[in-house]
Amino acid sequence: MLTLFWVFFMSATFLIQVYVPDAPSTAFDASLELAAEDAIDISLATSSSQNFDSLLHEYLAEDEYDDACELILSNLIPAKQGNCWLSKDSAPSEPFSIVGTPSGETITVHRLLYTETIIWTVSIDVWNVGGGA
């Protein structure tokens, strides 16, 4: 009886194969994420001609949304492209500046900023030029 059970069990495990796919590479996602974070960080490090923490803060405070997004997108490395979305307080995000169409997988990076009494959500969708890694 034990032998029959063992034969049944072994034949069942032989016939049933579980396909476990390989984990997706994190290198692709990481390069996009770092490019987006660097673009925001560089924009925040760009000094303002007025009394603001950065040029990005100045653009947001003065409602120059296209300029704010162009500043961020201009700091992406040449092999990456992106779209910029802004949200004021709890309003829905809206695209600003030139809106492109992704040509492959994208990563979205969000950053919260504040200017005086307004909280901004800055979001960047980033993808590789040509869609490749």
What token pair was written down for 82?
Answer: 């992106």
Give the predicted TM-score (pTM) of the model. Answer: 0.75
Which pLDDT tens digit goes with each residue over 62-74?
999 999 999 999 9
Question: Residues near 8 by Cβ (< 8 Å), separated by ≥ 6?
Answer: none
Q: CA Rg, the chain, in Å?
A: 24
Flag the least confident range among 18-22, 49-53, 62-66, 106-110. 18-22
Average pLDDT, the chain: 84
